[in-house]
Each structure stands twice: as structure tokens, then as C-alpha cells.
Amino acid sequence: MTGLDIAIYFFIFVIGISIGSFLNVVALRLLSEEDFIYARSKCPQCGKNLKWYDNIPILSFFLLRGKCRNCGKSISIQYPVVEFFTGVLFVLSYHFWGFSLKTIFFIFLISNLIVITITDLREKVIFDLNSIPLIPLGLVYSFFDIGNRATSSTGFIGISFNDVFISAVIGAIAGAAFFEIFSRIGYLFSGEYAFGGGDTILGAAFGAWFGWKGLVFILVLSLVFQMIVGIPIIVYNFFKSREYYSLFAMLGLFLALLMSIFGRIFNYRGEFLISIILIISAFIIGGISVFVIFSRMRETRNYTFLPFGPPMVAAALLFMFLENKPVLYLPF
């Protein structure tokens, strides 16, 4: 790597952390319903306008030792963290795709995903301003094959559509349908929708950008992320509220998972009868456990809502950067 390369990476990182500072402002002011275009930066605690030298991305936070110069109250660690990761993602975008139209499109996508992550984590809300434009933009990205992924094309009423765009249309529809269907299934069992409208829009957006295959990967990986974080929280809340029926049902789900794994193992060993018994038993125990958990939620009105946007964003970013890398293998 030459000195010029290092200088370019540093320049892009500086641009990234500067935009990350603005994205923090956008997210927080959307939540507080304040103007984020013309209003000056201010301390969220005392409301006093900040001087330019107290608003330098990352650097000012450490120079001020994480406290406001005026009121002395702590500044949220969110500010430098978001700025840093925005800079890193911008650098990665340039590293993988250089100065290209694809980089510009993905930087716009990344910027909106950062805002979506902040608002969903803080208040469990995804604003239409950040999510809806991603659907048509993703379809444009796919229609013109900006990512250079097309391998074939299909003619229809005199217009030629590449396979990437067709996959994007299917993905957008499938992404919206997935969340709408399972949201209503959750309502039938527990009396509350399992997903919010923002998740539906975000699912459609990822389908538009990455096609149905990318959407499947993103949904599966995001569910894994959500389980890793969510299951301990749910179990803790059940224990705290003395929901012992629900705790036993969670154990039933774990048992069903183990039985299904052993069922597959016996299937590979050729012991099909044992495999079938284990898999059927796993479905029965798992189904009963899910029914018990949702029934108890409906009766006690004790819900644990976890935002699904952040794990989807994390999975989408992994897919974005690793799509064409050997470490990411899609079996379809």
C-alpha cells in the first residue's frame, strides 16, 4: 500500500466520521421531532449551542472527556461509536468497490441503515423517511445492474429485464410478505403483532437491493442474531416474573432442537425409524412449547419486544461486503 493509498483511506474515513456525526443528529432529532437540517448542534442536556471545536467527530468527545463543556453532564458514547463505525463502513465500501457508482449507492444505503439502527434501538421505531426510499432505489440499482451481477435477461412486452432485477422484484414482494404474514400469525397467538410496519418495509428494501437469495440469507442470519441476544433476555424476563410454565416451555423448545439434530444424525447413519420418531417428536414438543409460550403471553400480557431492525441491518451489511467472497457460501 502506497502513501497515496493511505491518504485516500484516511480522507474517506474523515468523510465517513463527519457524515456519521450528522447521522447521529438525524436519528435523534427524528425521535424528538426537531429540525435536523438548519438547527445548530446543541447539548441534549442543557440545550446550549455547541462551538465548532466542541463538535469535531470523535476527537471532541475525548478532548472533553465525554462531558459537556457548559453543563458538565456526560455525553452519550453513542456519538463517537456511530461516527467511528460510519467511517469504517465508508472505508470498506471504497476498499471493495473503489470510486464507483456502486460505492455511491451503497454509501447511501449504509447511511440510512445507520439511522434506522439508532432509532430502532432507542425507541423501536423505523421512520418511513429512512426506509421507504430504499425500495425504489434498490429496484433502480438492480434494474441497471449497477452491481454487475446479471448473467441473463428475459424479454417481456418489448422490455428486457435482467435476472438480477427479476430476483429483486421477487425479493421485495417476498420480504414484505414474510413480515406481514408472520406479524399476523403472532397476533393470532399472542394478541400482539410480532413485527412492526417498519420491519415490513425494511424486508422489502433488502429484497429489492439483494434479490430473493440475498433476502433469505439476511433473514436467516438476522434470526440467528436475534436468538443469540433475545433468548437470554426472554428467559431472564420469564424467571423475573415467575413465569415457570413459560420457562418449562423454553426448555421444551431446546429439547425439540436437540431431538431434531439427533434425528438428522440418525438419518445420515441410515437408522430411518429412529430418525422419524425423533423428528416427529421434536415437532410435537416444539409446537406444544410455542403454544404454551404464546398462550401465557396472551393471558399475562407479559411481552418481550426486541427490535428486529438492528439484526437485519447487521446481516445485510455482512451480505453486502461478503457476497462474492469465498467465506460466504449460498447453497442455492
pLDDT tens, position by position, 255-269: 888 888 888 888 878
Cβ count near 63 (within 10 Å): 12
Cβ count near 291 (within 10 Å): 12
User: What is the pLDDT, as a whole number, of residue 157?
Assistant: 60
Q: Does 2 reside within a domain?
A: no
User: What is the pLDDT, as a whole number, of residue 120?
Assistant: 95
What's the Cα-to-Cα distance from 81 to each of 61, 76, 78, 139, rounded to whole Å? 10, 9, 5, 31
Q: Does 273 reside within a domain?
A: yes
Q: Does 247 reside within a domain?
A: yes
DSSP for 107-161, written as a single string: HHHHHHHHHHHHHHHHHS---HHHHTTHHHHHHHHHHTTTT-----EEEETTEEE
- The domain tally of the chain equals 1
Q: Does 282 reside within a domain?
A: yes
User: What is the pLDDT, as a whole number, of residue 318?
Assistant: 94
Q: Does 58 reside within a domain?
A: no
Q: Does 283 reside within a domain?
A: yes
Tell the residue number behind the cell numbers 406444544, with chain if given.
288
Q: Specify the DSSP element, H or E, that contains 66.
A: none
- Residue range of the domain that includes 256: 242-300
User: What is the pLDDT, as a whole number, of residue 297?
Assistant: 67
User: What is the pLDDT, as a whole number, of residue 177?
Assistant: 94
User: What is the pLDDT, as a whole number, of residue 328?
Assistant: 52
Q: Does 52 reside within a domain?
A: no
**C-alpha angle 127/49/79, rounded to 5°?**
50
Q: Does 255 reside within a domain?
A: yes
Residues of the chain with pLDDT under 70: 155-160, 189-191, 296-305, 324-332
User: What is the pLDDT, as a whole number, of residue 59?
Assistant: 92
